Structure formats: C-alpha cells, structure tokens
A and B are shown apart, each in its own frame.
Chain A
C-alpha cells in the first residue's frame, strides 16, 4: 500500500521543546506549599534495628514530619511482594529506608536526617551466591526457608543425545556485571492529596496503571483514588517498571503533612538505591556437527538478585529465549538459580536479560565456528532462524530477516575501514593522544572484526495477563485530531510514531495531531512501556481507533456525496470520492456536519489491541510470548593496544529487521542509542559493588560512552513487512545494544587471540588476559620491559 507519512524520516515531534528547555520534567514540578522529602538509608547491609530516635530531628525548625516504620503500613509490595516502604525491624541492603523527613527546604531535610539516631545490631551479611546457599547461612528473608528465591529449568529435545552426536563441543564460563540505567533524570516524584483523600502523583513511572494497583496495596487506599500524571521522562530504560520504596514514602509524607511533597534522588542516591542490571555467572556448553549444524546448548546461570525481588529475578525468561531460540538448536537445556543476598536489588534494564545471554551465546557461536574452521558469517547463516517457523520453545516466527541482517553486516565488513563510506568518519573520531598521535611505529596495535546477532520480542511480550493497550482518536470541528493512548513516551519517540500512524490512517497532516499519553484519569489502560512493545501494540490500538474515527467521518461524508462509504478515500486532510477528482471536501467539514446537527455526534474512535499470544507455561516455560520477533546483526571492528589493553572500536555496523520502518530516522535513533549502551556494557560500564556498597556512585567513575568515544556507526534497516504489525512494523527499542558486547568480544579475539568472558572488557582485563596467554599472571609486580605479542 503506498503511504505518504509512514516510512518518512520525521524528526521527533517533541524534540524541539526538549532541546530548547520548554519541556516540564519531574524535577521541574513545583506546587504551592510543597515540601521536600529526604530518605535516611541504613548504614549496614544486614542488621536488626534496635531503636530509632527521631525526637531531635522533629524539633529542627522547618521540619514538618519525620516518618518511620512505626507509624506506617508494613504491607509488602514489589514484584516479589517482599519489600516495604520503611524497614522497622530488619535491614537487608544499603538501599533500605529507615526514616524520611519532609521539610520546607532540601537542606533542612538533609540536616534533619543527621539528627535521627538509629541503633543497629549488625548481622553477618551475605555478598556471594555461594555464601547465600551455604549450609546454615543466615536467612535474608526469615519467613522463607532458603535464600534461593527460584530455580528456572527449561529444556527441549534431548541435550545428552545432542552432545553425543556433536563433532565439536566448546565450553566457557562468564561473569557479567551490574550496570546502571544511568538516566539523565534521576528518580523523582511529587505526591499530593486533595480534600477527598484522593492521591495525585507526578511520576516518571513506565507502568502507570500497574503502579496504581501496587500503590493501592502499599498505601491501603483504593486504586480508584490514585491518579498518576507522568511528567516528561528523562530516561527510563526499565528503571520505572516496578514500585520502589520512595514512591509510597512520598505519598505517606504527603498524607502526614497535608502538603504536596517532592522526593528527588541525588545522583549518588540514584546509583545506590535505584535497581541495577541483573549480573550473572554462567557456564555454557554447546556443540555442532562437522557440517556446521548446531546440536545442543547447555546453559547454567547463577543470579544474585539482591535483597528484594524486582524484575532482575525474571530475566532468566529472556535469557532462556536467547539460549533456546536464537539460531536453530535441536537440543537445549537451561537452568538459572535466583538467589537473595545483601547486595543491591536488580531490575529490568533495556534488553532485559538479552544483552547478558546474547553475550555468552554469540561468543560461544564464535568458538564453535572456530572449532569447525568455518567462516563466522557462513556458520551463523547455516543455523539462522527462518520466516514462518516455530521454534521448539514455541515461538511462532512470522517475518524474519536474520539472513538479510547477517549478509548486510558481512558486506559492511568487506567494505573495510578505509573505504569511502567509513573513512571520513573514522578519521574524525577523536583520538586519545596516548596511543595514536605519537610518531613511533605501532606494532602494538592489532585490528580485528567480530559478528553477533540477536533475537528479541517485537510484538509485545505477555508477562502479565493482559498485554493490551487502549486508544481513542477524537477529531474536532477544526479538523484537529487528539490521540489519547494508554502508552508512555520515555524518549523512544512513541508520540511521533503514533501520530504518524493516525495521520496516515485518517489521511490528515501530522501537524494536526496531538498525542496525550500522561494521565491515568484520561488515558485508557496499558500494561506499560517495556519489551519494545509500544510501536506494535500501542500502534495497532491507535490504528484501530483511527479506523473507527474514519468510519464515522466517512459515514457522514458518504451521505453528503450520495455515495457509499467504500467509495471514499482520505488524504492530505481531505475526503475524496474515488475516481472522481471533482468531488472533494475537507475532513473538518464532514466532522462539522456530523457535530452540528440535530442528534449530532462527536467523532471519537476507540481501539483496544491485545496481541494473539500466551503467557508461557509456568512449568515448561514454553509458549508464544510475542506476536512478532525482531532480529538484528552487528559487525564490530576494533583496534587493540596490546601494551595498554585499550580497545578502540573503529566502527560498528548494525542491521536490524524492524518489519517496516515507520520512521527510519527514529529507528536509527533507537539503534544508535542502543549501541551506545551496548558499547558501555562491552567496554566501560560497571557498577562496582563491594560488601553491598556501590563504590563508584557518580559519572566520574561510572563511565558511559560519551559522544567523543562513539565509533562510526552504520545503521542498516531490513524490512520484512510483518503481517501483524501496524503497517508491517515490529519493535526495535531494545535490539540496538544487545549484540554489541559479543560482536566486540569476538573482534577482540580476532585481533589478539584472547577470549574475554568478563564484562566490561576494560584495559586492565584485556591486558591481564593477554598476560595469561603469554603465560604470566597479572599480579606480577615485575614485568618485562619489551612486551611483544
């Protein structure tokens, strides 16, 4: 179908206001009489609270309330229903809140915190999985009999038989780090009660409707009395997918003081108290036949989920999807143990388990290809997923462009770093003087190329009983269109995409469309913004609502023209009779005719879309969780300094099967933004945790890739026209960063013959691995002065 707005490169509609400082973020919200809250965190990772004395803090002028567990509900909440707002008797991690103060300014609140006296009895703390599972280990949650929260066991085929029939078998163990969402905007919330006792929250949540329910439980007030207004969100990446203690705490302070209360995290607090990406220790075995066919995979993962259960403990669902269904593998076994410790609580971060599993699956693929002496790309093509197939796990793959993605990045590799496409960008790359500008010979610099692919849900992901989203489309008498969607804009560009879908369907102009998506009192239900689902799910809902509205307008227009509605088409803000150029009227005219008459009607279309998918079976973990699957491949070329261990990524080619690019510019933005996170995961980002404490809670020592560090990126869009997606589109939000670490690790191996199995691959770790290859342990105090590799 020819389209006029779908498929166009359109800058995000909300970008100019964001770039010029007009947008209202959570940190900008100020209400009359508003107080400032601060949280007192514990000083011990595992302890019993003996006494809390708040009397001095209460007397400090300017303090309006001091809250502790004593006077507040102890209802459990969170994904694992094991967390509370305040901790009254037991402390389980350093992010536990002991008390909170509401005061007339933030400095007074901070001073009041220092006046609260807490007496603790420290308990032996647990920081490793081994310690947590040891015989007689202290229980972190005493009401449970074990520190093991859950064990996932998945299998298909007969892994032992698969192993027996393998011609090559490889094995490796991996260690994956904590990383932070590193949102530009730290966590923030403003809470206010009105005279009816109804609560309004200004929030950066990604799940407004589930949060209503969660808060209703945590605060013991009906969900119908909670309204959530989402401010513009300055980064989310999964951070806003659960309820966290600071949210009920803000509401409790507002209730106690009768004033609006604002709680905003410092950067330090954000690193310490916000969730982190699930780390893992993983053992992987895999095999293949001499002809290159995969035979089996066996994955065993240990997950330290921290002190409370949030979404980190559910990441094995995605890890197992990659293990079981990325490429065609007849026999797969996957197990994961999720274990409580006194470490930071783990959550969902963009890609949700997939960057972790893609790292080990795709580096193992590299080892297999090497063992078989096969070309890296050919080996992957030999095993690639194919369209219109069902994986043994039960994923129903409709459109699939994995082959095209692999071929595209292989072609990019062949073009070479010095080719015209790449050359200019690579020389523009800002070089650290240390290694590159010295007039010395550089035998220490080695180059290599690596590949990796990814499979990601692209048509929603049913992890809740509904994966639905509602939408309405109102067309007014000026021809202005208001799209009200249940979905949430978190910077991914959903407002623009939904506006494009509705504009295309109604045949109107983009500038006539406004998208409203931020108020639970206004918008219809949606499960939340996660799993790359918004374009597919909210897009389908908006499309259905637009079709409904168009039908209403066409009914009136058809009567005016005296033709049947089937004979009408819409475009450019006008309604036309097919094959009759002279019979045209404006969309708004038809709407006015419908409104302003006896028995008039407003034009409001509605749509609800819940994809044809299933929750996975709770014992076998099989089932079709998504209505479509996205695919992608990346090629990284690196240069490794064998004396410093520094890895410089020269270029990254990213090909993604997105079904159809509704807005290619927005797709590129998602892929490049994803790659930025993937590069950090690969090379620089790690929340360092020792004894439960974050050692680098700032952007000085938590290193994101900055614009100056970014390599040249080539984005390649592969279109496969998915049958279920709006205009053929599938999700792309998470794939951009998922294969990056594996592609880089494989490139490093190509360059220097060393396999890195721990992320991030810092200069120190690369050099230590090189030392090991040279037969030296890195702790040697003395070293050879003329290192050669």
Chain B
C-alpha cells in the first residue's frame, strides 16, 4: 500500500474543512471494508485518509411516527439487525443486513459506506430505495437532500461531489410491506448475483403504491418504474404479478461476468420479483 496521511477529525465542520482543503485527494474511511480492499489492491491510492468514525453528527437512529426514520451514515449493518425501531418499522433493513457479509464485517461496515461505495450490487441500496429513502449530504456551506433514486450515477460513482459527505439517511414512515430477495451461490459471505427489493402498499385489495428496485443487473441499482406502473391502482393477482416480473426482467441490462451470465441474472430478476410480489400480495 502507498503511504498516506491520516486524519481523525472530531466534528463534522472540521471534517468538511479537511475534505475541501484536500480537494479530491482524500478519501473518507468509515468501516473500511470496501476502501481498504481497494487500497490494498492498488485501485485507489489516496494521499490522505479522513477517518469519520468519530463524528457525532453521523451517528444515531431516531424514529418518529410522523417524521419517519433518520439514521446516521455511520449506522453499522449490525445496528440495522439489532435496533428495535428498525426491526419494528423497517424489518426489511434488518433482513437485508442480516444477509450481508459476516458478523465480523457487519460490526464494521456502515450504511453510508455501502451507499457511497456505489456498487451496483450493494445490498442496502434496493431496500432503502423502495422505502423512499433520501440522502442528507453535508458540505462546507450546509446540507442538501437528494432522493436515493438519484444518488447512484454508475459503478463506483455516487452523486457526492468533492468536499461532500453523506451525513444521514432519511426514510418516510413505512407504508405497505417490503421484502428483499438476494440470489447468490452462497447463502452468506457472498455478493448478490441479483438482488430485488419490492414494496407493495395495498388498500382494499388494490395496490396503492408499488416499488421495485433491482440490484446487480444494471450499472446502478435500478428502479423498475414500468413494473411498478402495471401494479399501481390494480388488483395484484397472479397474472399482474407475472406481467410485472416480466417487465422488470426486460428493464434490466445485466452483463456476463464471473459471478453470473446475463441470461441468468435476467431470469433471476423475473423469478425473484414474482416471488416477492406473491409473498406481499398474499392476503
């Protein structure tokens, strides 16, 4: 690994000043479970590392029935699996986090790191997107908010600009039911070959709102809007589900790589979307 400077700011403004000074030559380090691997492999060679683990502004989880959930970017995957308000109101997050990595990695890895790493297969992206998540982004002059639908730009590329930090994630109060399905050769310690998150909000047997987000089958976590459209305002029966699943599969643009062939990924989108919707539509 190339030598680098290491900073450990104690407050958010201090961290933001440092980031601005370094002007793109520094990387922030949260859990380090993505960053360190890339540095060791030589893919990233930052001049400086800014450790953000001490920033109190990036910590904590709060929930309010009307305002919803706010969680700091430093919330770990382990926190997701154990925090009561998350388990009670957004169980899909606990479930998705429980499928990720191992207990050891989950204690280090953060929600912010998973999103900012901007991998198309990031397991938290699809569930946070179907829940309607918003990124709260801090910079030297304040904060800006951005829907997670617009957060990902390409593999490894998020909408964060130099000098910006992901401060927290906001979720509206939950409506409907949500599930995240992950297909990978191994049950644990594996990267998704395909990940599908589905949320279905039904009122009187009709779909009020549907969200379908697909992981690992496009350059970014992909919202399947056409699939959502055929469900919304309709009765979610087997025919509709099959139709939506097919549309979702058609919407994705997977690649052949060592983890899976394009045909298989596309097929899994169809299978998992159908299974997810079937499970949620059940009375």
Contacts and interface: CB of A to CB of B under 8 A. Distances in A.
Interface of A: 107, 268, 430-434, 438-440, 643-646, 683-684, 688, 695-696, 700-701, 703, 705-706, 708-709, 762-764, 767, 778-781, 783, 785-787
A170 B278 CA distance: 43
B99 A433 contact: yes
Contact of B242 (A268, A433, A767, A786): A786
B189 A706 contact: yes
22 contacts: A430-B188, A432-B99, A433-B99, A433-B180, A434-B275, A438-B276, A440-B275, A645-B264, A683-B185, A701-B258, A703-B185, A703-B190, A706-B188, A708-B186, A709-B188, A763-B185, A778-B263, A779-B263, A783-B249, A785-B245, A785-B246, A787-B271
Contact of B279 (A430, A438, A683, A767): A438
**Which 9 interchain pairs have the tightest Cβ spacing?**
A432-B187, A785-B242, A708-B188, A438-B279, A764-B264, A643-B271, A434-B181, A785-B246, A440-B278
B190 to A, nearest CB: 7
A780 to B, nearest CB: 7
Contact of B258 (A268, A431, A433, A695): A695
A97 B175 CA distance: 61
Contact of A709 (B186, B191, B258): B186
B157 interface: no
Contacts of A684: 185-186
B282 A433 contact: no
A708 B103 CA distance: 11
Contacts of A781: 263, 266
A644 B270 CA distance: 10
Interface in B268-282: 268, 270-272, 274-276, 278-279, 282
Output the residue of B183, B185, B249, B282 with the most chain A CB within 10 A.
B185
Contacts of A695: 258
Contacts of B282: 439-440
A706 B186 contact: yes
A433 B185 contact: no
A101 B98 CA distance: 45
Contacts of A779: 263
Interface of B: 1-3, 41, 95, 98-99, 179-191, 242-243, 245-246, 249, 258-261, 263-264, 266-268, 270-272, 274-276, 278-279, 282
A313 to B, nearest CB: 27
Contacts of A646: 183, 185
Contacts of B3: 107
B121 to A, nearest CB: 11
B258 A764 contact: no
Output the residue of B261, B271, B282 with the most chain A CB within 10 A.
B271
A700 B187 contact: no
A764 B183 contact: no
Contacts of B191: 700
Contact of B1 (A107, A700, A767): A107
B272 A434 contact: yes
B186 A696 contact: no
Contacts of B264: 645, 763-764, 767, 778
Contacts of A688: 258
B158 to A, nearest CB: 21
B97 to A, nearest CB: 12
A709 B187 contact: yes
Contacts of A709: 186-188
Nearest to A686: B258
Contacts of B95: 433
B267 A767 contact: yes
Contacts of A767: 264, 267
Contacts of A645: 264
A762 B261 CA distance: 12
A377 B180 CA distance: 42
Given A433-B181, A440-B278, A706-B188, 5 more contacts: A438-B278, A700-B191, A763-B264, A778-B263, A785-B274
B270 A785 contact: yes
Contacts of A763: 183, 185, 264
Contacts of B268: 644
A703 B182 contact: no
Contacts of A430: 187-188
A703 to B, nearest CB: 6
A683 B187 CA distance: 13
A134 B180 CA distance: 51
Nearest to A434: B181
A544 B191 CA distance: 53
Contacts of A787: 271
A705 B185 CA distance: 10
A410 B11 CA distance: 66
A643 B273 CA distance: 12
A434 B183 contact: yes
Contacts of B267: 767, 783
B214 to A, nearest CB: 14
A688 B270 CA distance: 27
B181 to A, nearest CB: 5
Contacts of B276: 438
A763 to B, nearest CB: 6
Nearest to B180: A433
A756 to B, nearest CB: 15
Contacts of A268: 41
Contacts of B185: 646, 683-684, 703, 762-763
B183 A644 contact: yes
Contacts of B184: 432
Contacts of A431: 187
Contacts of A433: 95, 98-99, 180-182
Contacts of B41: 268
A779 B262 CA distance: 9
Contacts of B99: 432-433
B182 A438 contact: no
A439 B179 CA distance: 11
A449 B68 CA distance: 50
Contact of B263 (A439, A643, A780): A780
Contacts of B279: 438-440
A594 to B, nearest CB: 55
A251 to B, nearest CB: 28
A432 B263 contact: no
Contacts of A683: 185
A684 B268 CA distance: 18
Output the residue of A440, A762, A786 with the most chain B CB within 10 A.
A440
A700 B245 CA distance: 29
Contacts of B1: 107
Contacts of B261: 764
A434 B268 CA distance: 11
Contacts of B98: 433
Output the residue of A268, A781, A785 with the most chain B CB within 10 A.
A785
A438 B271 CA distance: 13
A701 B259 contact: yes
A472 to B, nearest CB: 44
A558 to B, nearest CB: 60
A498 to B, nearest CB: 35
Contacts of B258: 688, 695-696, 701
A224 to B, nearest CB: 42
Output the residue of A431, A434, A701, A781 with the most chain B CB within 10 A.
A434
B191 to A, nearest CB: 7
